Structure 1
Amino acid sequence: MNKNLKHEILAAAQSFFNEKGYQETTMRDIASALGISLGNLTYHFHKKEDLMIALLKWPDFMNQPPASTFTEFFELIEAMIDSLIVNRFFYTVDELGRATPEFYRHNVDMVSQIENHLELSLQRLSDREFLVPWLSDDERHAFTRMIMDSHLIWIKNSFYREVQDQLSYANFLDIHWHLLESHVRKEKISEYQKCRSWLSFEQD
């Protein structure tokens, strides 16, 4: 497959899915937007579900080792949020996660791996004495689960509410800073706050 055409097809599909909705978008919409025939499109991607699967590949941040500093941890959180936004069509329609049994298993496995990556990062921060020791594996897992659930709730709500009622990206990220701060060792608070100020400045 021509790599440039593949990229263009996926970019067009992603744009349509996010703006028009996955279920409302047709293969003909995508082909027409690209100025190619429907046959040319279906030669490369036989059906719409194939496009969805191609878009929902493993996120790039999963290729990185677990975070071991405050900066790396919040870069991970930002990457997780960004990956939700890029393919928000998928996370705002519950039925898509169960499109087929095979895809459902793929989706469950992907979410499980992301959750595990996040939990390993939290444990590494504790092992390196950035965070206070977790009282138990259950406590660490519950904290991880809370972050994962908050991401899904945020992405589902953010694009269906009035602009003035939306929790902004910056405010949502700020919640993570407050959540983790309660687990930061006292002797690391100053470093934590400096990291927060520096990353906030970078975003501005």
Structure 2
Amino acid sequence: MSLRDISGVMGISKGNRTYHFKRKEDIIEAIIDDMSGRYRPPAVPQSLGEMNALFRHLQTMIKDNAFYFWHHAQLAQLSPKIREQQKKVYQTNTKLFREALVS
């Protein structure tokens, strides 16, 4: 998909798109930045039922954001910013699961 195609789908001029996003990578970073900004880690599960609910929640997130997870490794290679965002999510989730399994 070309940047011209993206501008057409968005219904904006190439110049307007270029003002905000010069490269495809800039668009991808903005989407992932928005996703990361809206991510709120759930509370630490206190029971098996809550742990099951957490796993179901994570499965839903993966399904709803399949475009991201299909290309997860490539996105990290594409952009240091994306790699850092992924690292923060890993650290948050690792802490969540550790706390759930220790308590």
Tell me the TM-score normalised to structure 1 length.
Answer: 0.40
- CA distance in 1 between partners of 2:86 and 2:38 (Å): 12
Q: Does 1:87 align with 2:65?
A: yes
CA–CA distance in structure 2, aligned partners of residues 27 and 51 of structure 1 = 15
Checking the alignment, whether the CA contact within 8 Å between 2:36 and 2:85 is kept in structure 1 is no
**Cα distance, 1:51 vs structure 2:** 2.9
| Aligned-residue CA RMSD (Å) | 2.6
Instruction: Using CA pairs under 8 Å that are at least 6 residues apart, name the structure with larger relative contact order, 1 or 2.
Output: 2
5+ residue gaps, structure 1:
1-24, 125-204
Q: Percent identity?
A: 20
Report Cα offsets for 1:82-112 as digits up to 9, x if no partner: 2222222232222211222333232122212
In structure 2, C-alpha distance between the alignment counterparts of 1:26 and 1:112, rounded to whole Å: 35
Unaligned runs of 5+ in 2: none
Q: Aligned residue pairs: how many?
A: 99
The Cα shift of 1:45 comes to: 4.2
Structure with greater helix percent:
2
Find the partner of 1:72 among 50, 64, 71.
50
Residue 106 of structure 1 aligns to which amino acid in structure 2? Q
Residue of structure 1 in register with 2:27 after alignment: 48
Residues 61 and 79 of structure 1 are in contact (CA less than 8 Å); yes or no, is this contact kept in structure 2?
no
Compute the displacement of 1:57 (Å).
0.8
For residues 1-204 of structure 1, the aligned pairs below 5 Å read 25-46=1-22, 47-57=26-36, 60-62=39-41, 64-93=42-71, 94-124=73-103
1:39–1:85 CA distance, 2 compared to 1 (3 A): farther
Q: CA deviation at 1:30?
A: 3.1
Tell me the secondary structure at the aligned position of residue 115 of structure 1: helix
Query: Does the Cα contact within 8 Å between 1:61 and 1:76 map onto a contact in 2?
Result: no
Q: What is the TM-score normalised by the length of structure 2?
A: 0.68
